[in-house]
Chain A
């Protein structure tokens, strides 16, 4: 169960990576570049803790996909990006798949 918590922390920092990299403008802006690298290091470390228990394909896919969902949801909340039916169906597939994996005993 603790490995799910590690994966959750890794997801949060992966969202920070995407946000920082987006603001780093091709890594020409110093502080956003540093933020990208630091968040990436923390995300990677927590991912590595989670992967002690998860199979790599399962843990990695949950990590990157749930981060993708988080980015879209935060974009809708804070940057007024529109949530349409397609985005919602993609979010539902990711969440449904994670629940399915959890129930089918993937860590």
Chain B
């Protein structure tokens, strides 16, 4: 590696973009819920704006970060965040059973995205020494 410092800088920016994409996705999910099928104007505008922001931030992040890992982190942040903030903001409290199954789903999708990562699979078969 000759351009290590340059790579590290762009890597850092990519991870910031990814975390932002996760945060934007939470706001998007809450806005879609708050829009009540796009009958409430402010929430509807917010949903559209944060949909576009998420798409942009995610595309910036995934130029550098492996797609499988990137989607796993992004999906995890969005799902956990919308459950936590949704229950606070809209007073939608989950039962213990629902929270358990929700955790199973979220763990499942993170696991699935990681399993789709070309980088992780290549690492394991020893093709890339990292």
Contacts and interface: CB of A to CB of B under 8 A. Distances in A.
Interface residues of A, number: 43
B105 A104 contact: no
Interface in B71-130: 71, 75, 78-79, 82-84, 86-87, 90, 92, 94-95, 97-98, 100-109, 111-116
Given A57-B82, A58-B83, A97 B94 contact: no
Contacts of A96: 104, 108
Interface string B1-44: 00000000000000000000000000001101101111000000
Given A26-B59, A44-B51, A90-B111, A56 B33 contact: yes
Given A26-B63, A45-B38, A48-B47, A65 B109 contact: yes
Interface string A77-94: 000010010110111111
Interface of A: 21, 26-27, 36, 40, 44-45, 47-49, 51-52, 55-62, 64-65, 68-69, 72, 81, 84, 86-87, 89-94, 96-98, 100-101, 104-106
A56 B82 contact: yes
Contacts of A26: 59, 63
Chain B contact-residue range equals 35 or more
A45 B31 CA distance: 12
Given A44-B51, A51-B33, A65-B106, A100 B101 contact: yes
Contact of B105 (A40, A47, A94): A94
Nearest to A98: B105
22 contacts: A44-B47, A48-B37, A51-B32, A52-B37, A55-B94, A56-B33, A57-B84, A58-B83, A61-B82, A62-B105, A65-B79, A68-B113, A69-B112, A90-B115, A91-B112, A93-B111, A94-B105, A97-B102, A97-B105, A101-B98, A101-B101, A105-B98
